[in-house]
Amino acid sequence: MNDIETKLACFKLRAQGKSLATIADTVGVRRQTVANWLKQYQEEVENLRQIELDALREACWMTTQARIERLSARLEHITAELDKRDFSEVPTAKLAELELKTRAELAREFAEPRIRSEQELRDAKESRTSLDSPELWPEGDTTLLLEPEESGNGRKRSRGAE
């Protein structure tokens, strides 16, 4: 597996929610290497995660559709019963609470994934990397940083020791 295929495998595994240790073991690189790649490409990985979630939603659509229909029918029955009741009764309060919970559950079923466009990915990455740029570091700051790995071996450096 070449470097690009290895990175892509890392990104896909992370999008599926796998841990750094699992990813590192699966693709055969160090955990720090995986962490560095994921940090460098965090917007793309998040986008892949949203695409994975969207695929899962599509695969479960019939189940989701059935749940939405069931919740909608329940909400109609609850609302019809509430329309008949006097709100001074205790059971009515419980029924009103059930209506609110059912509405909230129904609203969650309609949540859409947020998949970013290529331009949004570039903008987010530019915004994040501009915060990491050396020009923003205070003069004389010697906080240790970990340089990106080129051959799998990261090394520490100080901000002032360039």
Predicted confidence at residue 138, as pLDDT, reads: 52
Predicted confidence at residue 55, as pLDDT, reads: 83
In this predicted model, which residue has the larger pLDDT, 67 or 22?
22
Give residue 144's pLDDT band: very low, low, confident or very high (50, 70, 90).
Answer: very low
Structure tokens at 9: 């495998």
Q: What's the pLDDT tens digit per position in 80-112? A: 988 887 656 657 778 888 889 888 888 887 777
Predicted confidence at residue 90, as pLDDT, reads: 54
Give residue 152's pLDDT band: very low, low, confident or very high (50, 70, 90).
Answer: very low
What are the φ and ψ backbone dihedral angles of 159, each rounded to 5 degrees?
Answer: -65, -30
Please, are residues 146 and 32 in contact by the beta-carbon 8 Å criterion?
A: yes
User: pTM surpassing 0.75?
Assistant: no
Q: Is the dihedral of CA 130, 132, 135, 137 positive or negative?
A: positive
Q: What's the pLDDT tens digit per position in 26-69? A: 999 999 999 999 989 888 888 888 888 888 877 777 677 788 88
Among the residues of 41-89, which ranges form H helices? 42-59, 61-84
Please, are residues 159 and 141 in contact by the beta-carbon 8 Å criterion?
A: yes
Predicted confidence at residue 24, as pLDDT, reads: 94
Work out the number of other CB atoms within 10 angstroms of the CB of residue 139.
Answer: 6
Predicted confidence at residue 155, as pLDDT, reads: 46
Predicted confidence at residue 62, as pLDDT, reads: 67
Mean pLDDT, the chain, integer: 78
Taking CA atoms, 29 is separated from 89, 158, 160, in Å, by 64, 25, 30
Predicted confidence at residue 139, as pLDDT, reads: 54
